[in-house]
Amino acid sequence: MKYKLLRNIAFSLVMSRWRQTVVAAVGVTFSITMFVALLSFMSGLNDLLDGLILNRTPHIRLYNDIKATTPQPIDQSAQFSGHYNFIHSVKPKGERPELYNVLGITAALKKDKRVLGIAPKVSTQVFYNAGTIDLNGTIDGVDVEAEDRLFHFSDYVVSGHYADLKNTPNSIMLGIGVAQKMLVQPGDVVQLTTAKGEHVQLKVVGFFQSGIRDIDNVQSYCSVATTQKLLGVSANYITDLQVKLRDIELAPALSKEYQSLFDVDAIDIQTANAQFETGSSIRTLISYSVGITLLIVAGFGIYNILNMMIYEKMDSIAILKATGFSGRDVKAIFIIAASAIGVAGGLLGLVFGLGVSALIDQIPFNTDSLPAVKTYPIIYDSSIYIIGFSFAFITTYFAGYFPARRASKIDPVIIIRGK
């Protein structure tokens, strides 16, 4: 009963200055609307930008790196064991680029419950023969089904179907940049020159576009079998094993574990793409900073309105305290008033924020570099709405707390005597 009475009194005080109350609520609503819309857009943008690289990058890549022979023979000589040996023009080791015991490594990885999937790859350099001109390029021979399941390969195919690489013998899917330079269409036959100088003809079954021009100008895809045939190697010839984990955070530790266990070189996704994670973190930090600043500004508006209300309602506060209301009751009245403004403005802000996000999600966004993206990216994440409403409530609560504490300390005798 007492709480109901305090709530009714708070409602009466708020409605007595309804214009200022509406202004304060609108300030909170606008802040939450912009907070939700901004975070939803920035989160969508982060996912879009990171997806250009991170979705196409394995969590762990196992390969044989090209490196110099270590240690050098002079380092093993007892005569020079106590010396610093400086050796120039050291040549790389004459090792083959494929992984050794790839079947054993693959079997071990499939048994590891931390691994979501494995996609083998055969990488090689080639020259695209366009008349009398040779264009530098690379071909990745992939397990088409695994590549699409783990790395969303089909999302980047702009012409043809990714399964045609597996179903059509001696086929190739060209990067859009390469295709435009060579003026070819799906169904045409292109001639390549391998690193060993052999000429090979492949049928074009489609084009892909990653959104990164430097990649699209050189990169093409074939099936693993076609690439192995192109190189004249056995079916066990694999240059890379692309590992996708169930938990991406395990990548750095597992990378070191696999490198030691399988005696191969390994690199994790965090190391390979640290700049993208840094950019995403900074963009998110800026978005939260702007949103919180808007909420704090709205909180100051509520603080000023309640302060003015206290000065104008000195008589009413004195009468309340003279008739038996304690300082705690008076404080609760003003906190309820501030919280009501925050809750009302916050809920409206969430609704308008969702509406603005949905509106942005419908705005066309057409660019040649990102053919799969048709509208501006938006993420509908419930945590954004929860955080926004929580900040709105906390900000308005403290905006009302300090004026309420001031009102609770008013001495009714001094106020009444002054009148």
Q: Which of 80, 181, 166, 84 is nearest to 127 (CA)?
A: 181
Share of the chain above pLDDT 70, in %: 81
pLDDT value at residue 240? 92
Average pLDDT in the 184-211 region? 89
Q: What is the mean pLDDT of residues 115-125?
A: 91
What is the structure's pLDDT at 115?
92
Q: Is the dihedral of CA 117, 269, 159, 221 positive or negative?
A: negative
Query: Cβ(126)–Cβ(192) under 8 Å?
Result: yes
* 111 or 326: which leads in pLDDT: 111
Residue 307: pLDDT over 70: no
Check whether 1 has a pLDDT greater than 50.
no
**Average pLDDT score over residue span 166-186:** 90
Six token digits for residue 65: 């790196």
pLDDT value at residue 47? 76
What is the DSSP code (8-state) at residue 156?
G
Q: Which residue has the higher pLDDT, 302 or 65?
A: 65
Of the candidate ranges 230-234, 327-331, 359-363, the one whose mean pLDDT is the lowest: 327-331
- Inform me whether the pLDDT recorded for 121 exceeds 90: yes
Mean of pLDDT values over 392-417: 71
Name the range with the highest mean pLDDT among 98-102, 155-159, 352-356. 352-356
Where is mean pLDDT largest: 114-128, 317-331, 398-412? 114-128
Q: What is residue 53's three-state secondary structure?
A: helix
pLDDT of res. 306: 63
pLDDT computed for residue 354 by the predictor: 92
Specify the range with the lowest mean pLDDT, choosing from 57-61, 181-185, 266-270, 314-318: 314-318
Highest mean pLDDT among 92-96, 227-231, 313-317, 323-327: 227-231
Bigger pLDDT: 268 or 17? 268
Rounded CA Rg of the chain: 33
Average pLDDT over residues 71-100: 72
What pLDDT does 249 receive?
A: 85
pLDDT at 35: 83
Domain ranges of the chain: 2-54+276-418, 60-64+103-269
Nearest Cα to 20, choosing from 297, 345, 301? Answer: 301
* Confidence at residue 238, expressed as pLDDT on a 0 to 100 scale: 92
Over range 384-407, report the average pLDDT. 78
**For range 135-152, the mean pLDDT:** 90
Residue 204 pLDDT > 90, yes or no?
Answer: yes
Distances (CA, A) of 252 to 147, 274, 295, 309, 314: 22, 12, 38, 58, 64
Q: Output the average pLDDT for the chain.
A: 81
pTM: 0.66
Given this model, what pLDDT does residue 280 score? 66
The confidence score (pLDDT) of residue 66 equals 72
* 203 pLDDT above the threshold of 90: yes
From the list 323, 307, 325, the residue with the least C-alpha distance to 399 is: 307
Ranked by mean pLDDT, the top range of 141-145, 325-329, 406-410 is: 141-145
Residue 394: per-residue pLDDT: 81
What is residue 173's predicted lDDT score, i.e. its pLDDT? 94
pLDDT at 107 exceeding the cut of 60: yes
Please check whether residue 325 is in contact with residue 408, taking contact to mean a CB–CB distance below 8 angstroms.
no
pLDDT mean over 347-365? 89
Whether the predicted pLDDT of 419 surpasses 60: no
Q: Which of 20-24, 199-203, 233-237, 303-307 has the lowest mean pLDDT?
A: 303-307
Higher pLDDT, 414 or 185: 185
Q: Which residues touch 55 (CB under 8 Å, ≥6 apart)?
A: 151, 152, 155
Predicted local distance difference test score (pLDDT) of residue 119 = 92
Does residue 71 have a cis bond before it (omega within 30 degrees)? yes
pLDDT at 291 over 80: no
